[in-house]
Amino acid sequence: MRANYQSHKPEAALQRAHEFISVGKQRDALQSLHDLIKQWSQIYEQIMLKYVELCVNLRNSTLAKDGLYQYKILTQQVAVKSLETVLETFLTLAEQKTLEAQKSSIEKIEEIDDLDVADAPENLLLSFVSGAVPQDRMDRTVLSPWLRFQWDTFRNCLDLLRNNVYVEQIYHHIARQSFAFCLQYQRRNEFRKLSDILHLTQVQKAQQAQTIPAHAIKLTNIESLTLMLETRLCQLDTAINMELWQEAYKSAEDLHNLMQIGKDKDKKIAKPSSYVNYYDKIALVFWKGGNTLFHAASLLQKFNIYKDMKKQFTGEEATDQATRVLLATLSIPDGAENPSILTKHLDIEEQHVANTRILSALLRMPIIPTRNGILKEIARLNIPEIAAPEVFELYKCIENDFDPLHIATNVQGMLLEIEKLGEKLGYSEYSQYSNSIKQTVAAKIVKQISSIYESITLEHLSEIIPFYNRMQLEQFLVDICKQHSVSAHIDHRQNCIYFGPEDAILASELESENGNISEISKIKMQVSSVYSRLQDVYLDIDQSSVKELQEKLARQIKIYLTHKDGDFERILARRKKIEHYKESTEQMKQEKLLQVQMLANKQEEKRRTEEYKKLMEENKENEQRRKLAEQEEIKRRVVAERMQKQKSHPLYEMLVKELGEEAVEKMDLEQFIIEKRNLLDKERKEQQNRMLQQEKKFDYNVRAVHLEEMLVWKELSDERQASAPEIFDQYETRRIDEEIKAREKSLETFQLLTKVKDDAIKFMRSTIQSHAEELKVSKEQWKEKMESVREKVIEKLANERMKKWQVEVERQKRLEEEQRRKEEQPPPQQVRKVEAIPQPRQPLEKPLTQQHQESRPQQRQELRPQQRQDRQEPSPQTQQWRDQGQKPPSQQRGQPNQPPPQQQGQQPQQQQVDGKEPPKAGKYLPPHVPNYQQNQKPEAALQRAYEFISVGKQRDALQNLYDLIKGRRQKQWSQIHEQIMLKYVELCVSLRNSTVAVKSLETVLSALLTLAEKKTLEAQKSSIEKMEEIDDLDVADMPENLLLSVVSGAVPQDRMDRTVLSPWLRFQWDTYRNCLDLLRNNVYVEQIYHHIARQSFAFCLQYQRRNEFRKLSDMLRLHLTQVQKAQQAQTIPAHAIKLTNIDSLTLMLETRLCQLDTAINMELWQEAYKTAE
């Protein structure tokens, strides 16, 4: 039963609470004290101490929070010390109860998962079903409630005191106590929640509000920032001790932000010792996270602060710090600043760069650190000389010496000495770098060995690198190959390692083209391989040169070994002098700047002090006036609001009925409250009387039910005890019968298997003997097959060498023929009227790629004699027509070689140079000088083009028509211009020349596109190249093909077949692109433009050209943007497309719908979305 007693005096309330406790009614005592806490006086502290004691005994955290909240409101401005005493007492009592529960409980701390989770449902159900909780279950639930109560206590106190400047010190003290609680009981989940609820974010948001409360914490206050820094350092220490590295990293970020705020406000707030502690802790976090690069950078920053903080930074402390920095730097692997393989595959390199920049900002470094940068910085600071001698020797051995065969043994001995030194001096951190340094040294050894040897046995490599066993060594080699540090592969049959990529002949097609090694590395290795083979042949022929080279090498080695140490010491001494001069000069400048800055700071400090005093006085006066005005306004509003609320209360109507409306309205607020209180007391007394009667009835009913229930439980228990022996006997009988049956079945199975054992053995032996002859025949057939394959390979190599020799002979003949032609060329005055075409240079004077591009069509002619004969040599009918001096039979209209009707009476002539016939096809020929006039008529130009085509000079025919078109002398269009353009585009397609301008009407463009598509389809039928292997049509030939064509003298047949389709696809793509760019934003050729655009979409869909479809879509969007910009110009050209024209908009919509269908069919959903937009 709850008491309904209220006392207006604190002494009486406290006395009544003691009376309740003496009779065992602690809940009533707690309720009486809770109702009384409204105004503070000295007696209230004793009341609150008793209040929190009762809350702890009853584990009632809800009432504790409510009471402390009321007490905080009373004391935060007048008695903060009293509030601190009450909170400390509350926390101390909760901690004592938890310790007592831990001593009396058998429960393990690790078994309590989360203190915010209540009891499990099955435990509650067991307690109700069984009627009594077993003793062991009771013991296991002793500690959990007290731990949960203490955690709630800390959390409620922190939430109660947040963002209040009056109780700021209490807040941070309790926060550090909560960290100690998490560390003592290893409460990881609670520590994470505690880190989240620390209210730095709320403080920062409050600073940005328009109106800041008077009690809010201000980040401009130095004391507040200092307390936050100390709390965050304690949080970082706790996270490190609990090995919560992610929380430690978050704490380090908060520390960095607070230091930056303090640095902006006052540079003296963050002491150097705080920075030293910060860098020491964050270095440990980076080391545990496996980030050796930023671990070394943290220690380097710590060393710099030590050096700046102490003027005489020498002795054992300096040696220890320098040793740690040097060891951490040596443990950084090469390429540590580069993104990992997984990062590259997931295409999140930008995220990696952003993360490294954030980490650099945590270390207050302007740029991202690298291994080479840290090594240069420690050399500038003279850290290797300051460090321990053993570590300095290790540094020289790793960074300066090139001795891959012995460096691992030397480093292993030095690391043992360094570990002994750490044990002797008490620095256990030295030994943690051993494994990382060994891994770095092993990677360096493999790199150096790969630059010296082509192959090495695994046993020899294990002797050179004694850090790993056989399995670990192979895993290490696989890892560094994945990181592209070394290119190697292991041959387990030969038990050796080969450096460099595998032979391209033996490699698969995918491995050869899309391997991890870059294309430039492949070319370099191929050239190096050819050079090494030629060098071996040369040395085998000339043995005397080998001896001279060996003697010369021995002399050079002897000279180098003699002067090596002296040169190294001299260079090192010179570097030290330069660094010493730089440091002394820098120190003098710093001292001068410091003196000037100190003088300026004193003057500025004096001025700030005076201004601060004036501002403070003005602020006090303004604050007093503002507070008085606010208090008056608040009183007025409170009275009005309370009266308005009272009218909406249900008791208002009851008072009106009882006293009358006029009497109630005349009452002031105090009289109204007194009347309402009297009415409430009357109602409460009546309600309590009714509750008492109901409680008595309920108690009688429950007591009767319990009496009847006890009889039923007793009968059930007796029945179970009587039937238990019989049930056990039945179970045992059934179990024994089942075991006997299982034993009999096992014996029967064993006897059956024993009977067939001899027959099974005989069957196996007879089967082996019956197939012995077949096995022997199969082995002989395999040997014969291998021998035939070997003979074919030898014959293939012989044919390839013969072809190379023939190509070289033909090249020499071409050079001689070219030289003879130059000597027989007519003087300049004889060809004055002939259009000048520049002669090509000698092939050897040009770059390799240009030689390959110019010789590639001629090499294809040599490999394909039939095609060369079809292109360059006249057919038998044409030759007969020439011999008889007659014209060829007229061809049908539209065929490519048909001359115009008005020129059939003319006789085609073959051009001669100095009276000689043109050389035969199959040799490298310079472009022949055409003999035609500059200002010729279209009919004559077309006839001259047919003459050039008849003698196989298609390039001269194209040049003739191009010059005619470029001249633009014709003012009006005629039928002959269309015939000229049809022949022009036919020559462009035959020669795959898509860079010249296409300027004609719809017939010419349709003919161009039709011919290009026809040639592409023919190339696709005759090519073995796969469409998926052609990545991008805008990318030229690969570098290895260019180099192979120059080295071998001719492109191999299979490589030629693989490059049949690519040029035609590239030409057709260039044709579409050039036509679209030519016809853009022109209303006269608008229909042709959209027709070609739809054809280009069909091309991309037919050949599944995804990259080209994206470029085509971007081009059309760009053209549409240009049309829109043209509408906004001041002067719009007459030929420009107008978006107000319905026909133009209709064509654009149809083209966009075709583009959307193509994107959907090709499953390019992003492009489909852009098109839909």
**Amino acid letter, 225:** L
* pLDDT at res. 1090: 86
607 and 714 in a single domain? The answer is no
Helix (H, G, I), strand (E, B) or coil at 456: strand
In the sheet with 496-499, reading across from the earlier edge strand, the strands are 455-457, 496-499, 488-491
User: Are 981 and 1000 spatial neighbours (Cβ–Cβ below 8 Å)?
Assistant: yes
Token look-up 């294809």 returns 860
What local confidence, expressed as pLDDT, does residue 115 receive?
65
Residue 80 domain flag = yes
Q: What is the pLDDT of residue 405?
A: 85
For 742, how many CA atoms within 13 A lie in the half-sphere containing its CB?
Answer: 6
Highest mean pLDDT among 768-777, 1050-1059, 1074-1083: 768-777
- Distance from C-alpha of 714 to C-alpha of 818, rounded to nearest angstrom: 125
The residue among 757, 784, 815 that closes a domain is 757
In a domain, 762, yes or no: no
Residue with the two structure tokens 């934003």? 1081
Contact 396/403 with Cβ under 8 angstroms? no
Q: Rounded to the nearest 10 degrees, what angle do helices 316-330 and 389-399 cross at?
A: 30
Going from the C-alpha of 524 to that of each of 518, 520, 528, 745, 1044, the distances in angstroms are: 10, 6, 6, 74, 12
Task: Kindly state whether residue 581 falls inside one of the protein's structural domains.
Answer: yes
The answer on 143 and 32 residing in a single domain is yes
Q: Six-digit token pair at 22?
A: 């003496």
Based on the fold, state whether residues 18 and 103 are members of the same structural domain: yes
| CA distance linking residue 1074 with residue 44, whole number of Å | 93
Instruction: Give 421-438 pLDDT, tens digit per residue.
Output: 878 877 777 888 888 888
DSSP state of 457: E
Q: Give burial (CB, 10 Å; 0-12/13-18/19+) of 622.
A: exposed
Residue 173 CB neighbours (<10 A): 19
Q: How far apart are CA 908 and CA 901, in angstroms?
A: 14
CA-to-CA distance for 983 and 824, rounded, in angstroms? 33
Q: What secondary structure letter does DSSP report for 902?
A: G
The whole-angstrom separation of Cα 160 and Cα 168 is 11
What is the tens place of the pLDDT at every residue in 269-322? 667 777 788 888 888 888 888 888 888 888 888 888 888 777 666 678 888 888
114: left (phi over 0), alpha (psi -120 to 50) or beta: beta
CA distance 575 to 1118: 59
Structure tokens at 682: 């009357």
Average pLDDT over residues 678-697: 85
Q: What is the 3-state secondary structure (H, E, C) of 946-1000?
A: HHHHHCCCHHHHHHHHHHHHHHCCCCCCCHHHHHHHHHHHHHHHHHCCCCCCCCC
On the question of pLDDT at 482 being above 90, the answer is no
Which pLDDT score is estimated for 270?
63
Q: Could you say which DSSP state residue 429 is in?
A: G
**Quick one: pLDDT at residue 737?**
93
For residues 372 and 329, what is the distance between their CA atoms, to the nearest angstrom? 10
Q: What is the pLDDT of residue 744?
A: 92
Check whether residue 733 and residue 601 sit in a common domain: no
For residue 490, report the phi and psi dihedrals to the nearest 5 degrees.
Answer: -100, 130
User: Above 50 in pLDDT, residue 835?
Assistant: no
Domain contains 1049: no
Residue 136 pLDDT more than 60? no
Burial class (CB in 10 A: 0-12, 13-18, 19+), 430: buried
Q: Which range is least confidently modeled, 3-12, 450-459, 935-944, 1114-1123?
A: 3-12
When mean pLDDT is compared over 411-415, 897-901, 976-980, 1030-1034, the highest value belongs to 411-415
DSSP classification of residue 14: H
Average pLDDT rounded to a whole number, residues 1078-1102: 83
Q: Which residues pair with 498 in a beta bridge?
A: 455, 489
pLDDT of residue 1041: 52
Check residues 246 and 870 and name the one with the higher pLDDT. 246
pLDDT over 90 percentage in the chain: 1
Tokens of 472: 């670990």
Q: How far apart are the first and last CA of the chain?
A: 73
Q: What pLDDT does residue 112 have?
A: 60
Q: Higher model confidence: residue 983 or residue 851?
A: 983
How many angstroms separate the CA atoms of 785 and 787, rounded?
5
Of 794, 803, 796, nearest to 1050 by C-alpha is: 803
- d(C-alpha 155, C-alpha 68), whole Å: 13
Tell me what pLDDT residue 342 has: 64
Which residues, in sequence order, are bridge partners of residue 499? 488
Give dist(CA 981, CA 1000) in Å, integer: 7
**Contact yes or no for 59/149 (Cβ under 8 A):** yes
CA distance 1040 to 519: 7
> What pTM, to 2 d.p., does this model score?
0.43
* Better-predicted residue by pLDDT, 1052 or 494: 494
H or E element in which residue 819 lies:
helix 772-824
Whether residues 91 and 4 share a domain: the answer is yes
More confident position, 826 or 652 = 652
Over 70: is that where the pLDDT of 935 sits?
Answer: no
CA atoms within a 13 Å half-sphere pointing along the CA-CB vector of 65: 16
Same-domain pairing of 606 and 716: no
Mean pLDDT of 117-135: 53
User: According to the model, what pLDDT value does residue 851 have?
Assistant: 40
Helices 1142-1161 and 1106-1127 cross at an angle (nearest 10°) of 160
| Cα radius of gyration rounded to whole Å, the chain | 49
Nearest partner of 373 among 480, 296, 488, 477, judged by Cα: 296
The mean-pLDDT minimum among 119-123, 687-691, 776-780 falls in 119-123
- pLDDT band of 967, cuts 50, 70, 90: low
Complete DSSP assignment for 1025-1069: --GGG---TTS---HHHHHHHHHHSS--HHHHHHTSHHHHHHHHH
* 493, two tokens: 């049959």
> Which residues, 6+ apart, have CB-to-CB distance to 155 below 8 Å?
178, 193, 194, 197
Overall number of domains in the chain: 3
> Per-residue pLDDT for 1156 more than 90?
no
Each residue's pLDDT tens digit, 910-922: 344 333 344 333 3
Lowest mean pLDDT among 621-630, 737-746, 792-801: 621-630
pLDDT for position 8:
54
Lowest-confidence region among 77-91, 136-150, 988-1002 = 988-1002
Residue 678 reports pLDDT greater than 50: yes
**Domain ranges, residue 96:** 1-113+135-160
Angle made by CA atoms 456, 457, 460, in degrees to the nearest 5? 95
Confidence of residue 832 (pLDDT cuts 50, 70, 90): very low
Q: Of 840 and 1097, which is predicted with more confidence? A: 1097
Please give the mean pLDDT across all residues of the chain: 75
Establish if 230 belongs to a structural domain: no
Task: Reduce the DSSP state of residue 334 to 3 states and report it.
Answer: coil
Biggest CA–CA distance in the chain, Å, is 145
Please tell me the distance from the alpha carbon of residue 1042 to that of residue 852, in angstroms, as a whole number: 6
Reported as a single tens digit per residue, the pLDDT across 801-819 is 888 888 888 888 888 888 8
Q: Which amino acid is at 539?
A: L
139 and 35, same structural domain? Answer: yes
* pLDDT higher than threshold 50 for residue 1104: yes
Among 716, 734, 757, identify where a domain stops: 757
DSSP for 772-795, written as a single string: HHHHHHHHHHHHHHHHHHHHHHHH
Q: What is the pLDDT of residue 741?
A: 93
Whether residue 1033 is predicted with pLDDT greater than 80 in this model: the reply is no
The larger pLDDT score, comparing residue 984 to residue 103, is at 103
Residue 419 near residue 327, CB atoms below 8 Å: no
Q: What is the pLDDT of residue 907?
A: 38
Are 142 and 101 in contact, with CB atoms under 8 Å apart? yes
Whole-angstrom distance, CA of residue 377 vs CA of residue 559: 33
Q: What are phi and psi of 942, to 5 degrees?
A: -65, -40
Question: How many beta carbons lie within 10 A of that of residue 535, not counting itself?
Answer: 10
Confidence class for position 1024, pLDDT limits 50, 70, 90: low
Same domain assignment for residues 75 and 145:
yes
Q: What is the pLDDT of residue 118?
A: 53
Mean local confidence (pLDDT), 368-376:
87
Q: For 1134-1141, which contacts have Cβ atoms below 8 Å and span 24 or more sequence positions?
A: 1135/1081, 1135/1082, 1135/1083, 1135/1084, 1136/1081, 1136/1082, 1136/1083, 1137/1081, 1137/1082, 1137/1083, 1137/1086, 1138/1083, 1141/1083
Whether 319 is covered by a domain: the verdict is no
Q: Do 678 and 641 have their domain in common?
A: no
What is the per-residue pLDDT for 1051?
46
- Has residue 1047 got a pLDDT over 60? no
Per-residue pLDDT band at 1026 (split at 50, 70, 90): low
Sign of the torsion formed by the C-alpha atoms of 120, 124, 130 and 131: positive
Structure tokens at 149: 């109560």
Hey, what are 891's tokens?
Answer: 């061809």
* pLDDT(384) > 60: yes
Shared domain for 17 and 147, answered yes or no, is yes
Q: Is the same domain home to 725 and 577?
A: no
Q: Which span out of 140-154, 156-170, 734-748, 821-835 was modeled with the highest average pLDDT?
A: 734-748
Which of the residue ranges 26-35, 770-779, 874-883, 1077-1086 would you say has the lowest mean pLDDT? 874-883
| Spatial separation of the C-alpha atoms in residues 1014 and 1030, rounded to whole Å | 19
* Residues whose CB is less than 8 angstroms from the CB of residue 63 and which lie 6 or more positions away in sequence, other chains included: 30, 34, 55
Q: Establish if 182 belongs to a structural domain.
A: no
Predicted confidence (pLDDT) at residue 1130 exceeds the cutoff of 50:
yes
Q: Which position has the higher pLDDT, 455 or 133?
A: 455
CB atoms within 10 A of CB 187: 22
Instruction: With cut-offs at 50, 70 and 90, classify the pLDDT of residue 734.
Output: very high
Report yes or no on 1006 lying in a domain: no
Mean pLDDT to the nearest integer, 1102-1123: 83
Please state the separation of Cα 270 from the chain's center in Å.
34
639 and 738 assigned to the same domain: no
Q: Which residues contact 396 (CB under 8 A, 6 or more apart)?
A: 384
Q: Which of 158, 192, 200, 162 is nearest to 176 (CA)?
A: 158
Show the tokens assigned to 199.
């209210």
